[in-house]
Chain A
Amino acid sequence: MSDLKKQHTVTLDMDKCIGCFSCVKRCPTEAIRVKDGKASVIYDKCIGCGECVRICQSNAKIPSYDKWEVMAPYKYKVALVPPSFYGQFNNVKDVNTILTALKNIGFDYVFEVGIGAELVSQATQRLLLKGKLPKPIISTACPAVLELINERFENLKPNILQLLAPVDVAAKLAREKVIRRGVNPSDIGVFFISPCPAKVYALKANKSVKEKYVDGAISVSEVYKKLLPELSNIEDSNNLSEMGILGLQWASSGGEAAAANCEKYLAADGIENVISILEALENGGLQDVEFIELNACTSGCVGGVLNVENPFVARARLRQLRRKFPQVGVMLSDVDKPLDWFFMEKDIENDHQTFSADRNEAFTKLLEIQHLLDDLPQIDCGACGAPSCRALCEDYVMGRISTINCPVKDRKDTK
């Protein structure tokens, strides 16, 4: 698991890293340390949220995604276009221009992830009506949140909505459609234009699907570079967009909840806010809420670190585009799939982090951590390279480091 995470979340440009503590302090799961003047990630703890990429002043954190060349081996290329993508471009009157331009730069078929989102929303509405969902239900479109719950909030796993993410639904549908058009299945390559590394990792790890539906995840910025010159050349665009407002609004925080058509909803965005909501839920709070939408990025998917545009600008553009869209583009009845076709195909794996699998040993380690902690200044300054005194003690007890070096304590001791 860790190897896959190492390849597909975030890596470090050693030359650019100046060994500051920005990312160490920013990481919501305390997954980063500065060792020998360079940042290093404990991948078991990483949820792929991209906060470290966002905060790094030296651009030393490289979010993971596939390069354009990943498409080369495939004869028939399918682009999965997320609704947030439409917010990246200035002066676009009609999203069909963007979709047509995508076909001109090398894609044979374009499919809007917003359609997947619309279908997921309609499936959610049906499940809510049936009244069999746990309360509150936590929606799953953000893989970083899913990973966070998996690692730190095991208690809340039963509250996770067991539906596939829109991108998985879109990939399954797009593949089917293209095969029905007579394209040889082995020629088809399906590529997601990803706004964040968390989605890249989720697709690479096949988190909720049994077979691979997506062959690559290219970053929004990579596609943007190629697309921008082409956009100005387009005079006549084809009518390629099929989705409606229901799908479009998934691009920003609150849209998914609105699309679920549930009155008692809560939408939180930004990783710290997400954590405080999860903590409150675990303590028995928020009993009067039925639907919870959580997005690790501020403003939702438009805030993903692989995007090019400021999330608030993108959000404003999407708002202006709204009136060009029908309320709903694709109905559940249009695709003729049973409800269980939309369900996750396998259980979410347990990544829960403990000090030891053995309770007695874990307890001994906990005592040791506390004992060591009592001897430290507990000002969580980060000078040792760990985000907190507790994290430093934990690193030692877990064998990740061989000595506890606290510059602050050493200085005081010598005085």
Chain B
Amino acid sequence: MSSLHLEYEVEGNNFVSAGQATEKVKFCLKGMGINPADIRRIAIAMYEAEINMVIHANGGKALVDIFVDKIVVKLVDTGPGIADIDKAMTPGFSTATDSIRDLGFGAGMGLHNMKKYTDEMYVESTVGVGTTITLVVNFS
């Protein structure tokens, strides 16, 4: 099945540019006439993931594949990795520093929300190597 493949660099510690990849993806999906609720689901999850890479992993890459019936977003970083994925999925759990929290981020809902808003979500992570998060939203 053919897909539209897009790749974006997400810069580390750049909160201003975080979310740019999400905006570009939203633009494509709106043009396709995708159900607004589905666009919102992937937008929320993808934005969370982008912000996570900015905060925790000094940036990374967003690899997007848009199909006619679904979207698959892979967020790949070479950051510190997640030691305990189950714990990281717990609402409210966060390792963000106080200075990050002061910016209004780091509420500990990131991974939880990604799971909540997507149809499929996978976390692969190795401490010291990096994390890859895969988000899938099927279009209604």
Contacts and interface: CB of A to CB of B under 8 A. Distances in A.
Contact of A359 (B22, B23, B68): B68
Given A283-B44, A284-B47, A355-B31, 13 more contacts: A154-B30, A283-B47, A354-B30, A354-B32, A356-B33, A360-B68, A362-B31, A362-B33, A363-B4, A363-B32, A363-B68, A367-B4, A370-B6
Interface stretch (B35-43, B72-80, B83-91, B118-126): B35-43
23 contacts: A154-B30, A154-B36, A155-B36, A155-B39, A157-B36, A280-B19, A282-B40, A284-B47, A284-B48, A284-B117, A285-B47, A353-B30, A353-B31, A354-B31, A354-B32, A355-B31, A355-B32, A362-B33, A363-B32, A366-B28, A367-B4, A370-B4, A370-B6
B2 A367 contact: yes
A352 B19 contact: no
Closest 9 pairs between A and B when the two form their complex, measured CB to CB: A284-B44, A354-B33, A283-B47, A155-B36, A154-B36, A363-B68, A362-B32, A355-B31, A155-B40
Contacts of A362: 31-33
Given A279-B23, A370-B4, A284 B32 contact: no
A280 B23 CA distance: 10
B13 interface: no
Contacts of B33: 352, 354-357, 359, 362
Nearest to A355: B31
A301 B4 CA distance: 42
A280 B139 CA distance: 22
A152 interface: yes
A154 B43 CA distance: 13
Contacts, number: 68
Interface in A338-363: 352-357, 359-360, 362-363
Interface string A131-155: 0000000000000000000001011
Range, interface on chain A: 20 to 34
A283 B39 contact: no
Nearest to A155: B36
Given A366-B4, A366-B66, A283 B22 contact: yes
Q: Which of B32, B37, B43, B117 has the most chain A CB within a 10 Å cutoff?
A: B32
Q: How large is the interface on B (under 10, 10 to 19, 20 to 34, 35 or more residues)?
A: 20 to 34
Interface of A: 152, 154-155, 157, 279-280, 282-285, 352-357, 359-360, 362-363, 365-367, 369-370, 394
B112 interface: no
B113 interface: yes
Contacts of B39: 155, 282
A157 B37 CA distance: 11
A359 B140 CA distance: 11
A284 B51 CA distance: 13
Contacts of B117: 284
A263 B113 CA distance: 27
B115 interface: no
- Chain B CB within 10 Å, residue with most, of A154, A280, A360, A363: A363
B119 to A, nearest CB: 17
A352 B66 contact: no
